[in-house]
Amino acid sequence: MKSVKIGLLGLGTVGGGTATVLLRNRDEISRRIGCSLEVVHAAAHGIGQQTILDPAKCKLTEDGFEVVNNPEVDIVVELIGGYTIARELVLKAIENGKHVVTANKALIALHGNEIFKAANKQGVIVAYEAAVAGGIPIIKAVREGLAANRIEWIAGIINGTGNFILTEMKEKSRDFSDVLKEAQELGYAEADPTFDVEGIDAAHKLTILASLAFGIDLQFEKTFTEGISKITQEDVTYAEELGYRIKHLGIARKTAKGIEMRVHPTLIPEKRLIANVNGVMNAVLVKADAVGPTLYYGAGAGAEPTASAVVADLVDVARAMDTDKQSRVALLGFQPESISDIPVLDHDEFETAYYLRMLADDRPGVLADITRIFADQEISIEAVIQKEPQENQTCVPLILLTSVVVEKNMNAAIKQIESLDVIKGQVTRIRMEHLG
């Protein structure tokens, strides 16, 4: 049986999971593809301590360049993360004519245009299923399964750590930092956990999804990014009372004006399936013109779920590597010469509904002042709730839900509301989507 030779870069959580799955399911994988996948060279820091790969069959090194320069290697699997050395190694592997599989969302979101250009020039494949939503085959679904459709929007819970934190806050009223620590211990969180809690990891993934959905260049710098670090227990509770859940969503939407690319905490009606995706699980809802809405659910992080996507890419590459280059799936799902320059919208142009919370003096005319400002900005109010004043306080929390509004109008309204004497402190705003 023919053997496809793999060079593995990184033996951390995902690298270790990938080596384990490849060894454990070796026979089943060979039955599927008619050849065997053999890890022949691996690089990682402290690789001498590893216990998964057999040194009699696989060369071990601390230097990744030895792997990408090894003429025996057909496919380089990059699982070291980051985008400095990882970028150099991937570009070198491509230059050496090797196919690449990576789980590195930051690398693809920031340097994907350069990497894909180099790969197309060399006629090699770069596969990155594990870069978005861990084990969910969402890239294959959007790029191939939905290829008949015009995609209208995508909304996804695409950061497992963030979802785990929000779930624990809602269900067990647990402390933010305590839950984050647990996510780190379970191997879900990024090396720098601010990437998870400040939305950067989700923005990397959303950038990739938007390019796959709309056939545009990767434009991470234009993705609006807001994390969950400012979400309070109070907002989680009020949202629940109103029939909503707060989820951190990545949203890519094509409008008449351009493309919205945004990640932020979002109120969604609790009756939506995606509102009930809890813990470290991810889910991506795709609305397309022919098929309508489809929902993809599964583990978004963790060693073996992510390895599942990495190994599926290896299987794809092993099947396609000897085929005619023209008949392979384009790396972003659209032919490189057909990539569109449709503009990505500034956040001022986003259109979304809002949840607002503010502290106001409890006296006549306050609501009238607020509603006048909204009327001036053409903002329609859907619901208003006044809560009891908190202990020893004269101010009352006011919660408002609005209908869909252009973000610049909301910014202007919030500025005016915050300048009212009867309003104390800042207005808390959380965007709201009905996903209908």
The answer to whether the beta carbons of residues 260 and 214 sit under 8 Å apart is no
Q: For residues 225 and 58, give the distance between their C-alpha atoms in angstroms, rounded to a whole number.
A: 42
Does 205 qualify as catalytic in the annotation?
A: yes
Q: Is 199 in the site for ligand HSE (CB under 6 A)?
A: no
Cα separation values, 22 from 8, 27, 61, 304, Å? 12, 9, 19, 10
Cβ-based nearer residue to ligand HSE, 40 or 252: 252
The answer to whether the beta carbons of residues 42 and 89 sit under 8 Å apart is no
Backbone angles phi, psi at 385, to 5 degrees: -130, 135
Q: For residues 45 and 61, give the distance between their C-alpha atoms in angstroms, rounded to a whole number.
A: 8
DSSP state of 419: T
In the chain, the largest separation of any two C-alpha atoms, in whole Å, equals: 83
Alpha helix segments (H runs only) across 200-302: 200-214, 233-241
Task: Determine which residue in the list 42, 124, 165, 189 makes contact with ligand HSE, applying CB under 6 A.
Answer: 189
Q: For residues 316 and 327, give the distance between their C-alpha atoms in angstroms, rounded to a whole number.
A: 13
Cβ-based nearer residue to ligand HSE, 202 or 400: 202
Q: Is 23 helix (H, G, I), strand (E, B) or coil?
A: helix
Q: Is 201 in the site for ligand HSE (CB under 6 A)?
A: yes
First CA to last CA distance, the chain: 51
The answer to whether the beta carbons of residues 226 and 179 sit under 8 Å apart is no
Number of residues that bind ligand HSE (CB under 6 A): 11
Q: Is 196 in the site for ligand HSE (CB under 6 A)?
A: yes
Q: Which of residues 346-385 bind ligand HSE (CB under 6 A)?
A: none
User: x/- site string to ligand HSE, residues 129 to 168, per CB under 6 A?
Assistant: -----x------------------------xxx-------
Applying CB under 6 A, which part among 67-75, 184-192, 289-297, 346-354 lies near ligand HSE? 184-192
Applying CB under 6 A, which part among 167-175, 183-191, 206-214, 242-250 lies near ligand HSE? 183-191
Give the strands of the sheet with 36-43, arranged side by side: 59-61, 36-43, 3-9, 75-78, 99-102, 126-127
Catalytic pick from 205, 247, 254, 287?
Answer: 205
Q: Is 301 in the site for ligand HSE (CB under 6 A)?
A: yes
Applying CB under 6 A, which part among 107-115, 185-193, 208-216, 424-432 lies near ligand HSE? 185-193
Measured from the CB of residue 290, what is the shortest distance to ligand HSE in angstroms? 30
Measured from the CB of residue 278, what is the shortest distance to ligand HSE in angstroms? 14
Measured from the CB of residue 302, what is the shortest distance to ligand HSE in angstroms? 8
The catalytic residue positions are: 205
- Binding-site ranges for ligand HSE (CB under 6 A): 134, 159-161, 188-190, 196, 201, 300-301
